[in-house]
Structures are given as C-alpha cells and as structure tokens.
Structure 1
Amino acid sequence: MLRDKAVRKREGFKGQRLIVLPKKIIMDFLVKDPITKHIYITDIGYYPKAMFHYAERPNGISQHIIIYCSEGFGWVEINKKRIIVSPSQFVTIPANTSHRYGADEKAPWSIYWAHFKGENAKTIAELIIKNSENYKPQLAYSEDRIKLFDDIYYNLEQGYSDDTLRYVNMIFYHFLSSVIYEDKFNREKKDGSTGIVDDAIKQMQNNIQKTITLHEMAASAKLSVTHFSTLFKKQTGHSPIEYFNHLKIQTACQYLSFTKHTIKELALNVGVEDQYYFSRMFSRLMGISPSEYRRRSKNS
C-alpha cells in the first residue's frame, strides 16, 4: 500500500495510452448495433511502469473491468478481498462491485486494461471468473494476444466509423475468448510446448513448499535443460527458476496477509530453508521486507 495518498493517481503515466469512447458514440451506435450491442469497449489503455497508480470505487462502476499485468506487481481488492497481482496474471472485476487497486510501490506494474459492457458482458465476465480462481487467472505470455490489443487500440485511434467500431469489438470478443480458452488460443500448443510449460507450472504450484532444481524440471519434461528453459521463457517471458520464485513470493504474500506465521515458518512453507535468503528474495521482488509488507497489509 502506498504511504502517501497525495501522490496516488488514476492516470498520467509516461508512455501511457488511453482512449475513452464518447458517450454519444456508445448511446447512438454501440448499444443499438446488432453486432456491437452484445460486447463493446467503453475505455481501453496501457499504463507502463505505472508508479503510484491507484483507483478506488466503493460502489463499483457500470462496466466490467479487465486488467492484464505484463510486468511488475500490483494489487486488487474486490469486495474487500485482496489479490496480489504478478506478471502474466489477469484480473476481472465485475460491474457494480466494490473495488480498489494499485501498483506496487517499488516494482510498479505495467498493465493492459479495458472496460466493457453489452448484453453478453455479464455472462462473459462470469465465465472468465468461473474458469479462474479468485478472479485471477494465470495466462501464458502471448505476443498474439498483445497484438489483438494493439490492433484494437490502433483502429480506435483512427476514429469511430461504424465499420471501425464493429471491427474492434469483434476483435475484442476474440481477445476475451483467448482469456477464457487459453489452451485453445495459444498456437504453441500445436507443437506441444504449451502443454510442457503448463505441466511445469503445475509442478511448481503443487510443490511450492519444496525446492525444485532446473535439472529436475527439465527431466520431468523429458527435455534438455537448454531446450526446456528456452521453451519456458518464450511462453512466459521468465526463466523457470524466476517464475517459480514469483509463485513462492505470491504464496508468501498470502501467508503474510492471512496468517501469523513467523518469517522463518513462512520461509519453510515456501521451500526456503534460510529465512535471511528468503527475506532478501522477497525484498528484491516486492521492493519491501516481509515484515513491512505484513504491516502495510494489516494497516490497509
């Protein structure tokens, strides 16, 4: 949580991209057109390294919100339930739901985000949440998915012709389907690499309390260390060990927020025998010590 509320800001980040569709365009076309009325974007943007990013809406908003974190860290609180957001994670906030969110103070997130409405919007949002856990699915990094976002943004920059509005919202439907049906969208599945990486991630998740070496991961995948590491980084954007450490720290954040475990106990629970090494790793990734994180979590 940020210490100084005065520096918090909703937008205004170097390199940001932001489009808010005019209300007249929404009411005169998007809600009436047979194609766009089912799903349509009202706002869309990209905030890189969004230091001090913060938004709070006690009563929610009328649109559903999606946030995809490409790097850095942040947090989202939905109905007073806090979620720590790490790279390659996707959060869905249902419409009319109390929420707030913000970037990590030391390692602020870079996020792609959109607000959307439509006759099918609630069903789509519920399906995304159903297929995830606690509003937050883990997505494999995909350049194809980011290209869909970029295509939407580029075309909206050209104006709001009827054809443009239909085109971008049909793409947005595809973008949402890529989130719901990740395994079908990722083209790397054809050569088996996606299944290999997914299995490795499951192995990590099921063994958070243990130490797994890179050689052991590669052996489980029946690949050489080099081949396995290359496939893993291509899909996730991170090395296997770095990714495993992210998952460990994510779990540690939950322990710090919801248990009274000592730092030593907590370190053992995420497979790190040396509590001082754990504290250093936590501080490097989160930008603050475990003790300070627990204090801020309680204060928030």
Structure 2
Amino acid sequence: MFAKQKEAYYNECGGIAVIVYDGSNDKKVSSTKHTVMVISVGECGNLDMITLRKNGRKDWSLFYCEQGTMTFEKTTVYPGQVWIYPPDVPQTYLLRQSDNTTYHYLHFTGNAVHEVIDSLGIPTLTPLKAPKDAFFEIFKKIKKSSVGDDGLSRVRTEYYTLRLLSLLSEESPRISKKNMMLRVTEDMSHTYPVPYDASKYAKMFSVSVGRFNHLFKEIMGTSPLNHYIKTRMENACLLIECTELTIAEIAQRVGYENPVYFSQAFKRQIGISPSVYRRIHHK
C-alpha cells in the first residue's frame, strides 16, 4: 500500500523524488529525566523532495517554515508557520525547489512532553502561527546550546525548547473541547469501516488514551467506542433500507468480517436483528 502511495505522490507532483524512511537511520531516542530533550536540530531547503515516513518517528517533530512554502499532509504551511508531528504518527511532507523554501526542524523527546503540549493547548497536525523574530532567535539558541554535551548546555537547550513551545501557545487559537470532539466524530463518520483505534484519536490532541476517553465522554455523553459502533450501525441501517445488499455484504461494508457478530452488535444497538429491520423497512 505504501508503495502505491509513493507512486501516487511521484505522479501527482510531477516526478519529484520520493524519499521513504523506515526509521532505521534516525538518531535513537533514549529515556530521559528531563522534561524536554533535543534529539536533533537543523535547517534544510531549496530542493525538490517528498518525504514519507509510514511509521512516523519515535520523537516529536517540529518544522518551522522561514521562507517559501511546505506541504504537510496536503496542507500548505507558509513563512512564519509551524507544523508539529507527535511521535509514531505517519509523516508526509513536500518541498519544491521553485518555492525557494528554507525550513528549520527540531526533533525532541522528554518525560513530560505530552503533558506540556496538552497544558499549553498547542494543536498538532495543523499550521500554527509563530512570532517570527522571537521564534527564529530562540531556534538559533537551541542550535547553539545543543552542540554542547555538558549539563549546563542540556539545561539551556531544555529551557529554550520550552520557551519555543510557550511562544506557540501564546500565538495559537484556543480550540474548545467541543470542537476537538467534533473533529473526532467527523473523522469517525468517514473511517468507521476500519477497526477502531483509540490511540489514533489520542495522538490527534497529544493526550493519553485514558485522557482522550475521559474528554470524549465528558463532552459527548458516551464513550468513543460506543459512538464508533453507533456510527457503524447508522450506516448499516441506511444500507439495509436503500440497497439490496445481503446482510453479510453490509456487515463487511461497515467493518465486520463475521456477519453473525455484526447481527449481534446490530441487535444490541438497534434493538432488533438486521433481517427484521429489513422486513420492517421494505414493506
């Protein structure tokens, strides 16, 4: 599947080289007692390149566009904007030499990064506005302090990285919890045929699975899994009412390989079996 994605991007972007990383050459992420620890920092640009990381990275990835444009997950990032990938999230980003792009990257980890980003209300996987001059100056300080391997250099790097994140928090619009969950339910309405994955949604907001489950139930009044099943069954009802597909075919369409298990889940959710539902609605 990933080979097909690589070919699709190559064709779509006019033959730009597609570089696929499997993570084997990434600098290894070690455990740390520090709140934040920089893995690597640098700059790049002025080239044609599509980067695909199907498994993402084990650390956090922050990209700052200084000039030109970049494209992350088919979303354009302009000068003075930032894009953040949480760990283990697939990455796809594009550079065009004709855009004369220069960008800076920061890969970091830490024992409390999730909590820091969550508490600061910094969204991920979306363009973020950065205060250009101040942000760039702190980026340079991170580069300078990360060269040293002594205790003072590590403390300085940690301080500057936290300062960088605090600047993003000051510039980022606050996203209400309700709007956060609406993003989740919108995604569920398109992806319900695939197996439910709570970690996917937790990563969208840089929180733990437990925290995500709590937030979802607090806002939506039900668990995310129950909502996912409800979405499946609502679509199953539409297929039963509007098509001549068999129950087994409908089961597969909404994500169930076993039609017996589908029928049991349908009855628990709707109150009657799929076959009875069809008889009622086909009269």
After TM superposition, the score normalised by the length of structure 2 is 0.49
After TM superposition, the score normalised by the length of structure 1 is 0.46
